[in-house]
Amino acid sequence: MILSSQTFYNNDVMKAYDLAVVGFHRAYAPYSKFRVGAAVKIKNSTEIIFGCNVENISLGATICAERNAINQALVRINVDTKAVPSGSLYDSKMKPIEIEFVVVVADTETPTMPCGMCLQCLNEFSTGKTNIIVANLEKIFGTVTLEQLLPAPYINI
């Protein structure tokens, strides 16, 4: 992964970065103190939807910023989409959203990668070529594709 400044990225990425930073500041991380924000750009839409990590005292109920953003995107896009009346009608080939890219922001010297669980969840609504753009608060960016981080996703159900 090559790290670079923000000048390399287009307006959508920078808008997503700004929203991911908002998510970072809204993170609920009283146990780890490790805050993360994420924003997903939805393909064929102007929507960029962000989320933050939300920890829980049970730890297992904690959700990462990336999955929070994906879940919010599903809810919000469905409200605006007349073509798919009910989530229960989806099958494995009919995806309500396709993620164009995701931006992940954490306060680390080297940008933080999504965890394995989030990669598998990103895979549900992305392709292997989907860009995962990681950044820190100093606007140091890196870009990898989903298939670089998750070359063999679970798909056998």
Identify which range of 29-37, 60-68, 72-80, 141-149 contacts Zn ion by CB under 5 A.
60-68
Q: Distance between CA 60 and CA 139 in Å, rounded? A: 31
- Nearer of residues 64 and 97 to Zn ion, judged by Cβ: 64
List the catalytic residue out of 47, 66, 100, 109: 66
Sequence-ordered list of residues with C-beta below 8 angstroms from that of 65, at least 6 positions apart, any chain: 20, 23, 24, 27, 36, 37, 38, 51, 52, 53, 104
The 3-state DSSP class for residue 47 equals coil
User: Token pair of 32, please?
Assistant: 């780890």
Tell me how far, at minimum, the Cβ of 54 lies from Zn ion, in Å. 12
- Nearer of residues 13 and 150 to Zn ion, judged by Cβ: 150
Q: Which of residues 99-128 bind Zn ion (CB under 5 A)?
A: 115, 118
Q: Distance between CA 40 and CA 32 in Å, rounded? A: 24
Contact flag: residue 3 with Zn ion (CB under 5 A):
no
- Nearer of residues 5 and 116 to Zn ion, judged by Cβ: 116
- 66 belongs to the catalytic site: yes
Please list the active-site residues: 66
Q: Residues interacting with Zn ion, by CB under 5 A?
A: 64, 115, 118
